[in-house]
Amino acid sequence: MKITAAVVKAQGSNFELTKVILDQPKSDEVLVRIIATGICHTDMVARDFVMGSPNFPVILGHEGSGVIESIGDDVHHLNVGDHVVLTYGYCGECEICRSGTPAYCYEFFPRNFSGARIDGTHNHHYPDGKVINDNFFSQSSFATYAIAHKNNVIAVPKDAPLEILGPLGCGIQTGAGAVINSLKVKIGSSIVITGTGAVGLAALMAAKASSATVIIAVDINEERLNFSRELGATHTINSLTEDVQKRIREILPNGVQYGIDTTGRNEVINNVLSSLAPVGEMVCIGVARKPLELETNIFLTKGYKIRWINQGDSVPQEFIPKLIHMYQLGQFPFDKLIKKYAFQDINEAVEDSEKGRTIKSVLIIGNQEY
């Protein structure tokens, strides 16, 4: 079938809306009419080949939401007409997936970053037959239609606003999951979150929903810090003008119990670690540009735990509906992060995201009368 997709033709280049051909789904796949797709930093990381396949042209997009148009013969838990959110790809069969941690699937990289299906085939091509790299996060949803594997298609309630749900498939579930699934933040506890982008602010809202009583947001953007207070931060620190470690110790002399870093920066991670209370826990989410160096000797008697997490340690079939329910109850207002753009304005939306003018850009691609 003929569709319109945003194609990146060379490393670091703009997205170009292009008419392409999309094949029919295989037996374990689903065809989804895309209503909207969030723009995530990971799309830019792949566009610039910091991570992912070096093969261009490519169709990116991995926070899609839409309506199922057709299903393969081996898909039994989904139906035509279902409203769905598309999330990351995983096999569902390896010991890692079966243990309840699909974000660490043995096949995570090839199913999300290789530019093709796990068997090396593609489902997009130009009218002249030339293939286009695709299957980004098992979806490539910067397009009017997408094919996804049955494992990463999550049915959602039809009374939820489908045009804003896509970011739950990656960025929002990553931040919220860091609090709820990874750290399991306790009632009455304290947490510091570095970086107030979409992931950091999702974590902040989840911390508030988890009844943490001290929530510290750290950034260099004063406007974002003010917004953090609106979303539930009890304290904010501008790391350009303030000593982060000193300020945290003024707020909590014994240190903070939990930390989340979304920046991937050496000095930021070390600031958080140095501000933890004994046996404190920290998770790192941000993509790093340099190897991490730690002042480990000062941590020997502290009992700290630090680890790197993917996708908020979520099991998407369970966690995404949970976040939607929290949103509907008014406990998780992630819609406040979103600004909508027309599909043809994708490059403006990307630029606004990269320059910090928009927290979470969402492309409205299909007819909202779904």
Same domain, 20 and 147: yes
Decide: 152 and 138 in contact? Cβ < 8 Å. yes
Same domain, 338 and 306: no
Among residues 30, 58, 62, 60, the alpha carbon closest in space to that of 147 is found at 30
Q: Which CATH number covers residue 29?
A: 3.90.180.10
User: What single-letter amino acid sits at 360?
Assistant: K
Burial grade of 313 (CB within 10 A; 0-12, 13-18, 19 or more): buried
For residue 326, is it within any domain? no
Same domain, 241 and 337: no
Decide: 287 and 277 in contact? Cβ < 8 Å. no
Same domain, 137 and 47: yes
pLDDT at position 294 is 85
DSSP assignment of 181-210 equals III-PPTT-EEEEE--SHHHHHHHHHHHHT
Q: Which CATH number covers residue 223?
A: 3.40.50.720
* Two tokens, residue 145: 């239609």
Q: pTM for this structure?
A: 0.95
pLDDT at position 291 is 85
pLDDT at position 368 is 64
Q: Give the CB-side neighbour count of residue 263, counting CA atoms within 13 A.
A: 20
* Two tokens, residue 332: 């998780």
Same domain, 85 and 182: no
Decide: 62 and 43 in contact? Cβ < 8 Å. yes
State the Cα–Cα distance between residues 174 and 237, nearest whole angstrom: 23
Quote the number of domains for the chain: 2
Same domain, 269 and 141: no
Phi first, then psi: give them for residue 22, nearest 5 degrees: -115, 125
State the Cα–Cα distance between residues 36 and 85, nearest whole angstrom: 10
* Two tokens, residue 161: 């606003």
State the Cα–Cα distance between residues 139 and 305, nearest whole angstrom: 34
Of all helices (H) and strands (E), which one includes residue 128?
A: none
193-231: b (≥16 Cβ within 10 Å) or e? bbbbbbbbbbbbbbbbbbebebbbbbbeeeebbebbeeb
Question: Which residues in 295-357 belong to E strands, given as ranges?
Answer: 305-308, 338-342
Among residues 189, 247, 198, 190, the alpha carbon closest in space to that of 218 is found at 247
Secondary structure (3-state) at 57: coil
Could you report the average pLDDT of every consecutive run of 10 residues in the chain (370 residues)?
97 96 97 98 89 84 98 97 98 96 97 95 95 97 98 97 97 97 98 97 98 98 96 97 97 98 93 95 88 82 94 97 98 98 98 94 85
Domain that holds residue 83: 2-155+333-364
pLDDT at position 49 is 86
Same domain, 220 and 279: yes
